[in-house]
Each structure stands twice: as structure tokens, then as C-alpha cells.
Amino acid sequence: MFGRVVILVLLGVFLWAVFARPSGASGPARAYRVRAGDTLWSIATAKYAGDPRAAVWEIERRNHLHGAAIAVGQRLVLP
């Protein structure tokens, strides 16, 4: 009896591993053109719900920024 359970669990894990696919829940990346007066904080609060600190960090990471300095006309990839 125990052996059958183990076999079923292993079969389930194997099938899951074979057929698992990314859900695409994050959606496609969006581009944003920086306007006069924009800051990473203002962009994060306008585009994302919740705590903007995580969004600011993610925008910096995605765009390979070293700090919060952005320029008017700069194209940012938003997560």
C-alpha cells in the first residue's frame, strides 16, 4: 500500500515537472519616457500599487541604474 502511494506521488511530480510552464503572470514589460519633474518615486507611485520602495528598486535594477538619477527623455523599462 505504501509503495503505491510513493509511486503515485513520484508519478505526479514527474508529470508536473514535464508539463509545467511559466504562467506569464507578470505581463509584458512596459516602456516609459521620463518627463520633466518625474522621479523614480513618482513613477513608482503612479504605476504600482502598494509600497513604492520595491517598485523603485525594481525599476533601478531593470534599467541598470546606479542610484535614482534619471534624465528627461530617458526611456525606462517598467517591470
- DSSP labels for 55-73? HHHHHHHHTT-SSS---TT
pTM: 0.63
- The CATH topology of domain 28-79 is Membrane-bound Lytic Murein Transglycosylase D; Chain A (3.10.350)
Question: What are the grid coordinates assigned to 64, written together?
Answer: 541598470
Q: Is the dihedral of CA 9, 13, 15, 20 positive or negative?
A: positive
Question: What are the grid coordinates assigned to 78, written together?
Answer: 517598467
Predicted pLDDT of residue 79: 79
Q: pLDDT tens digits, the chain, 79 residues: what are they?
A: 778 888 888 888 887 877 777 665 566 778 999 999 999 999 999 988 888 999 999 999 999 999 889 999 999 999 7
Domain boundaries of the chain, sorted by first residue: 28-79
Residue 15 burial by Cβ neighbours in a 10 Å radius (0-12, 13-18, 19+) = exposed
